[in-house]
Amino acid sequence: METREPIVSAEWLHSNLANSDIKVLDASWYMPQEKRNPLEEYQLPHMLPLEEAFAAAVSVLGIQNTDSVIIYDGKGLFSAPRVWWTFQIFGHNKVWVLNGGLPHWLKAGYEVEATTPENVTLRATAVRKAIKSIYHGQYVGPATFKTNFRPQMIWGIEQRLSMFQVKQNMTDKTHQLLDARSKGRFDGVAPEPREGIKSGHIPESKCVPFTEMVDSSSLLLSEDELHKKFLQAGVSLDNPIVASCGSGMTACILCVGLHRLGKLDVPVYDGSWTEWATQPGNPIHTLATD
């Protein structure tokens, strides 16, 4: 598999599923208003964890640095890219997203498990225990999965932990800030899914809704189609890009699309709009103010 190509097909995964160095992760996650419990569907953590916590969790899952990791989600192409990006930020490039996710796998007629195997439940419990221990300052190990944190792939609102800062970029304009939220939320005319958060956008950012990266079957668009989408949004593919969204999730779908176009290691503003809009004093632009 090529590391430039961010996805694998259901057909490819079906043919290679028996390989011992292929590890498959369910990274399903849902928005609050959907009222679904992704923990029952093998939920993985949402925001970027501590490096030690990620290494401990992945080790408990039985994943090694030599493994090829294939990630899918229950919506097609939604939350899996976030986990794909997380593996990369911790130095593991042998990671791909299942194109079309579980819906496309089912459409292809491939087998699924109707119940949760006991070993999966036990492993999920062990993962939660390991993560909890790390955050309580307790030793967990030895970790069989070694991380190599790449700080250039994560942005913060201000400079810390070697991260770039969004506020400074408003002045320096070294990177194009792309917002993966819907146009309505970006323009401030549609509500945010999280209560108490204003809609609108960070000044100087561009709107590229994550839904523009896939077709009606939630399959990633071709290179030519992706290229057109970014150009239509006024994005220069020759210049640096940082991706943002509501909370750092769907920004990673833009990263998948850009990865297919050869723009590797696109950073994500991890706090995204949720952080920006809830901190006093940050400028918020809307359709009315632009």
Question: For the chain, what is the HEC assignment?
Answer: CCCCCCEECHHHHHHHCCCCCEEEEECCCCCHHHCCCHHHHCCCCCCCCCHHHHHHHHHHCCCCCCCEEEEECCCCCCCHHHHHHHHHHCCCCCEEEECCHHHHHHHCCCCCCCCCCHHHHHHHHHHHHHHHHHHCCCCCCCCCCCCCCCHHHEEECCCCCCCEEHHHHHHHCCCEEEECCCHHHHHCCCCCCCCCCCCCECCCEEECCHHHHECCCCCECCHHHHHHHHHHCCCCCCCCEEEECCCCCCHHHHHHHHHHCCCCCCCEECCHHHHHHHCCCCCCECCCCC
Catalytic residues: 245
- Please indicate, yes or no, whether residues 162 and 234 belong to a single structural domain of this protein: yes
Residue 190 belongs to domain spanning = 151-278
- Please indicate, yes or no, whether residues 188 and 128 belong to a single structural domain of this protein: no
- Please indicate, yes or no, whether residues 130 and 210 belong to a single structural domain of this protein: no
The count of structural domains within the chain is 2
CATH of the domain at 24: 3.40.250.10
Position 273, amino acid: W
* Confidence (pLDDT) at 251: 97
Q: Is the pLDDT of residue 45 over 60?
A: no
Least confident of 136-140, 163-167, 215-219, 281-285: 163-167
pLDDT band of residue 190 (cuts 50, 70, 90) is very high
pLDDT band of residue 162 (cuts 50, 70, 90) is very low
Quick check: is 142 in a domain? no
The helix-helix angle for 223-232 and 251-260 (nearest 10°) equals: 120
- Please indicate, yes or no, whether residues 108 and 201 belong to a single structural domain of this protein: no
Percent of the chain clearing pLDDT 70 (strictly above):
89
Position 101, amino acid: G
- Please indicate, yes or no, whether residues 130 and 159 belong to a single structural domain of this protein: no
Quick check: is 182 in a domain? yes
Taking the whole predicted model, whether its pTM rises above 0.95 is answered as: no
- What is the chain's mean pLDDT, rounded? 89
Looking at 106, 135, 164, the residue that finishes a domain is: 135
Quick check: is 78 in a domain? yes
- pLDDT digit string, tens, across residues 229-282: 999 999 999 999 999 999 999 999 999 999 999 999 999 999 999 999 999 999
